[in-house]
Amino acid sequence: MTLQEYDAKSLKTSWNASDLVGHGGFAAVRKCRHKKLGEVAVKCFSTTGSTEKIEKDIEGQSREAKILSQIKHKNILRVHGITKWSNCFGVLMDFIEGGSLCDILQKNVAIPEIPWGLCVRMLKQLGDALCYLHFYDKNYAFVHGDLKPENILLTLELQVKLADFGSVNLVQITGASRLPSISVQSTTQHTRLYSAPEFLKDPQSKRTVKMDVYSFGMIIFEMITRKSIFHGVAVNMDVLIALILSQKQRPNVQEVEKIKNTVSKQADLQTLELMEKLMNLCWSQKPEDRPPMDNVRDELLLCVEKMDNQQLMTEAFNIRQKMISPKPRNPLETQVSLSQFANPFEKVENPGPFISTGEHIDQKDPTCFIALGGWSTQTDVLQYSPVTNTFTSLPRLNIGRWHLSAASVSEKLLAIGGKLEEDMPTNAVECLDLQKPTEWIHKSPMNENRYHACATTLGEYVYVSGGWNEMKICLSSIECYKLADDEWTIVGNMKTAREGHSLVACNGKLYIFGGYDGSNRLQSAECFDPTTCQSTYLSDMPCINSHHAASYLNGWIYQMGGLDGDLTFLRKVCRFNVAKNEWDSTVPNMMENRVSLGSCVVDGKLYAVGGRSYGDSMTTIESFDESLNKWMIVAQLEKPWYRHSVVAI
């Protein structure tokens, strides 16, 4: 497997310390932006010494990054590749905004308590990550080797991302041949108080998965008590380690009993007792007495499955509101190439531009709309004129697709992504010249394969958000396309990964509603500002909703149809007041229930086109007239249209 190497000139960061996420004696972590990867964290090392030493250091770091790039799991921080410049070396990783487990357990006094259900969910996700590592395949296992709250990162939705693999080992389960280790032998790479007794006794001993299980028990203690392990123990480190080895010293379990005595709800007490039981099993003195990680994870899973997902989401949202807000991103025009840093700790003068946000260009009011793609209409392109109530067939798409996105810009219509006949997602893009609609022309593909994504136009740019990729990962990234350059750039991320959501552009910003995050259907909404590449949460929608449609009309964003939390097909309509950040649910419902429909605004009226339903929605178009406050079926389609896209032109 070849390790991807990125040009340091393509990575943009602040010219000063504002994008310096953290640093230690040997490395600095900088937040950077890349056209294809979007926002990433780059762990930068400055190498010094002889040429031979520098080459050896870089070789070692490259070997570590290569192994880590093979680790792909939703609860593990992803390594994208490496970069080199001057005497510096960097490892590119996902950037996570929510801080670490340590931040919310000990440092964030704004969070007085964390619901026990959320604690178990986070532990279960950490267990998922460790099971992936420990049971990598039938022959090999990864040992993380440095589990502690500081290395457990959290998204703003309190989803776990296991990080900092500086001590990870790849060990062989069967056979006797020696395997490459990416362990750094110095004990500074390993926090000793979280370490298993057998490691403390012999730091040069072979790492085992049971060492991670021991550390997991320590983490459970901190989640229960919100105190550091061995808090208040008045002995020096060497004495404490001797006690751990000789007398099986553990953190003060009386702290756990104190917490249990404050719990009033029976369900919470049962959850807490499960955590306590697993804690005691995991930190057993002998490795053979510790349970395998999959047994621990399975017990946590059973507990989580009994909980109300919506309640967990609400609790996570409430904590998110109390968390320290992330710093605003630096304006793009103040960012410079990472290659300009002689040392990642220093600042760079003469900041330069990264990407222009462009100016708004006026567009003609739409007079008709086009429906394209879909489940049973994969290559069909159909234009409808409300004025004459007529349909016109346009040239067929080159590639049959459904769950696609579409947008128009500068008299051009773009068909973007979707699923192909082979049930595979695609990043392919086609373009039709609406002034001379003779054939579809292939354009540059997106950086990600996407279906169930959304697209919209803002000025001279087309933006695409979210969707599923080929690995069944729900995406949070937002890509931007400029027709004149025929180039796609990942410009940022939504706060929540989403598919089956809606995306509407107005007032120079992108408004994003609902959808599905890969585990739960969503009620949240957010606003992405392309000038700062920052997203902020809006007022929640009136109800959970995915696979709906949304369009902007006269200061309101109308949301139509979709699936609620019970997977009911909806004909419900609500609208969002952009200026007031408020929802109104008094709008009349549509005539038909509709899911995976298309919508647009033409001549001051809303149109809902096709969509799955219990009735005839797939072959009908209905319109809403604000002046009449009424929906009406206005046209019949010759064939069912759903999982398609609709664009006003």
Q: For residue 201, which phi and psi values (nearest 5 degrees)?
A: -70, -40
Give the pLDDT score at 321.
67
Same domain for 248 and 396?
A: no
Length of the chain: 649
Same domain for 64 and 106?
A: no
Residue 242 binned pLDDT confidence (cut-offs 50, 70, 90): confident
Q: Examine residue 355 and state whether it is found in any structural domain, yes or no.
A: no
364 known ligand binder: no
Same domain for 90 and 233?
A: no
Q: Which of 493, 440, 443 is nearest to 464 (CA)?
A: 493
Report the distance separating Cα 594 and Cα 646, nearest Å.
14
Whether 587 contacts 596, CB under 8 Å = no
Which of 96, 120, 154 is the endpoint of a domain?
A: 96
Q: Examine residue 150 and state whether it is found in any structural domain, yes or no.
A: yes
The pLDDT tens digits of the residues spanning 121-150 come to 999 999 999 999 999 887 788 888 889 998
Same domain for 155 and 25?
A: no
Q: Examine residue 84 and state whether it is found in any structural domain, yes or no.
A: yes
Name residue 622's beta-bridge partners.
608, 633
Residue 403 token pair: 């769950």
pLDDT exceeds cutoff 70 at 588: yes
Give the pLDDT score at 140.
80
Instruction: Tell me the average pLDDT across 21-42.
Output: 80
Same domain for 437 and 559?
A: yes
Whether 315 contacts 112, CB under 8 Å = no
Instruction: Tell me the average pLDDT across 472-482.
Output: 93
The pLDDT tens digits of the residues spanning 271-324 come to 999 999 999 999 999 999 999 999 999 999 999 999 987 788 778 877 876 765
547 secondary structure, DSSP code: S
Same domain for 62 and 18?
A: yes
Same domain for 414 and 553?
A: yes
What's 196's domain CATH number? 1.10.510.10
Same domain for 136 and 38?
A: no
Q: How far is CA 150 from CA 90, 147, 222, in A?
A: 21, 8, 12
Q: Examine residue 288 and state whether it is found in any structural domain, yes or no.
A: yes
Give the pLDDT score at 65.
76
Same domain for 228 and 203?
A: yes
Q: Examine residue 25 and state whether it is found in any structural domain, yes or no.
A: yes
Q: Which of 147, 163, 151, 187 is nearest to 91 (CA)?
A: 163
**Does pTM top 0.85 for this prediction?**
no
The pLDDT tens digits of the residues spanning 179-220 come to 333 333 333 434 788 999 999 888 888 889 999 999 999 999
Q: Which of 396, 454, 402, 456 is nearest to 425 (CA)?
A: 402
Which of 96, 114, 137 is the endpoint of a domain?
A: 96
Which of 96, 115, 135 is the endpoint of a domain?
A: 96
Same domain for 553 and 587?
A: yes
Residue 53 token pair: 């030493």
The distance of Cα 329 from the centroid of its chain, to the nearest Å, equals 17
* Strand 620-625 relative to strand 630-636, pairing: antiparallel
Q: Which of 108, 95, 86, 104 is nearest to 20 (CA)?
A: 95
The pLDDT tens digits of the residues spanning 621-638 come to 999 998 899 999 999 999
What's 23's domain CATH number? 3.30.200.20
One-letter amino acid of 134: H
209-225 and 116-134 are packed helices; what angle lies between their axes, rounded to 10 degrees? 170
Cα–Cα–Cα angle for 315, 320, 322, rounded to 5 degrees: 105
Three-state DSSP state, 21? strand
pLDDT exceeds cutoff 70 at 344: no
What's 413's domain CATH number? 2.120.10.80
Same domain for 238 and 253?
A: yes
Q: Examine residue 338 and state whether it is found in any structural domain, yes or no.
A: no
235 secondary structure, DSSP code: S
Same domain for 382 and 262?
A: no
Of the ranges 24-38, 266-280, 344-358, the best mean pLDDT one: 266-280
The H-or-E segment that residue 327 falls in is: none
Report the distance separating Cα 297 and Cα 135, nearest Å.
13
Average pLDDT, the chain: 85
Whether 237 contacts 192, CB under 8 Å = yes
Instruction: Tell me the average pLDDT across 227-241.
Output: 79
Tally of domains within the chain? 3
Report the distance separating Cα 140 and Cα 136, nearest Å.
6
Q: Examine residue 337 and state whether it is found in any structural domain, yes or no.
A: no
Question: 167 is in which domain, residue-wise?
Answer: 101-322
The pLDDT tens digits of the residues spanning 609-623 come to 999 987 666 899 999
Which position has the token pair 């350059």?
Answer: 485
Q: Examine residue 358 and state whether it is found in any structural domain, yes or no.
A: no
